[in-house]
Amino acid sequence: MTGKLAVVLLSGGLDSTTVAAMARAEGWRILALTIDYNQRHRIELDHAVRVANALAVERHIVLPLDLTGFGGSALTADIDVPKAKAGAPVGPGIPVTYVPARNTIFLSVALGWAEAAGARDLFIGVNALDFSGYPDCRPEFIAAFEAMANTATKAGVEGAAFRVHTPLMTMDKAGIIAAAQAVGAPLHLTWSCYDPSPQGRPCGQCDSCRLRAKGFAEAGVADPAQSPST
């Protein structure tokens, strides 16, 4: 148990919820940060609130930072989210659901809160294996961001090194689900779909839905968020 403060980026999805639960299990006091970037799947913001409550975080901020003014992504502009049949593999290449510089923007905001709050640790649920090909999910990016953070901040130049924790970096989706279960992450409260129906149901066909389904299938676990009882 560290009892120290850490800022955890919490989207309300499976990966960030698992990371937050892992941090809690390690004894971190969690400052949960959710960015309301006016994403197409705004429903995930409600899920983030429920996850933050379930994990009894120290504080949760949902920060409005509308990225639709920039557009450039299927998640922030009027561009269709690519779909494929349920079970079809997620293809190579950087998809149109990539949001320009999103993790750089999010981590920078998290860094600002961390420095203000006296925290030196950031957690983010990036993953270099079962991911959608986003360049800002790779270890090289995280190392570069850490170096930048320690150059850019008063705390950094005064010797208190910032660290970006990426406990999911080398896990596949099935491994993430197993890790989530080991720490009692509230996966039943999570949301993954990029393009929910007007009734608020997951589409089952976007990259995020298919990666989620693949993970639960490979972990041999039923998805608790999809069960009729929830």
Contacts with Zn ion, residue ranges (CB under 5 A):
193, 202-203, 206, 209
We find the least distance from the C-beta atom of residue 157 to Zn ion, in angstroms, to be 43
Handedness of CA 192, 49, 135, 37 (dihedral sign): positive
Q: Give the Cβ contact number of residue 60 at 10 Å.
A: 18
- From its phi and psi, is residue 89 left (phi > 0), alpha (psi between -120 and 50) or beta? beta
We find the least distance from the C-beta atom of residue 78 to Zn ion, in angstroms, to be 17
Would you say 82 or 112 has its CB closer to Zn ion?
A: 82
60 strand-pairing partners: 32
For helices 207-219 and 173-182, the axis angle rounded to 10 degrees is: 60
Would you say 95 or 202 has its CB closer to Zn ion?
A: 202
We find the least distance from the C-beta atom of residue 204 to Zn ion, in angstroms, to be 6
Q: Are the C-beta atoms of 44 and 191 separated by less than 8 Å?
A: yes
Q: Give the Cβ contact number of residue 178 at 10 Å.
A: 17
We find the least distance from the C-beta atom of residue 17 to Zn ion, in angstroms, to be 17
We find the least distance from the C-beta atom of residue 86 to Zn ion, in angstroms, to be 10
Would you say 97 or 103 has its CB closer to Zn ion?
A: 97
We find the least distance from the C-beta atom of residue 123 to Zn ion, in angstroms, to be 25
Would you say 203 or 221 has its CB closer to Zn ion?
A: 203
Determine whether 229 is exposed, middle or buried from the number of CB atoms within 10 Å of its CB (0-12, 13-18, 19+).
Answer: exposed
Here the tokens at position 116 are 């203000």
Would you say 136 or 207 has its CB closer to Zn ion?
A: 207
Would you say 37 or 191 has its CB closer to Zn ion?
A: 191
Q: How far is CA 189 from CA 58, 93, 171, 186, 230, in A?
A: 19, 30, 21, 6, 9
For residue 167, give the nearest of 3, 5, 15, 33 by alpha carbon: 15
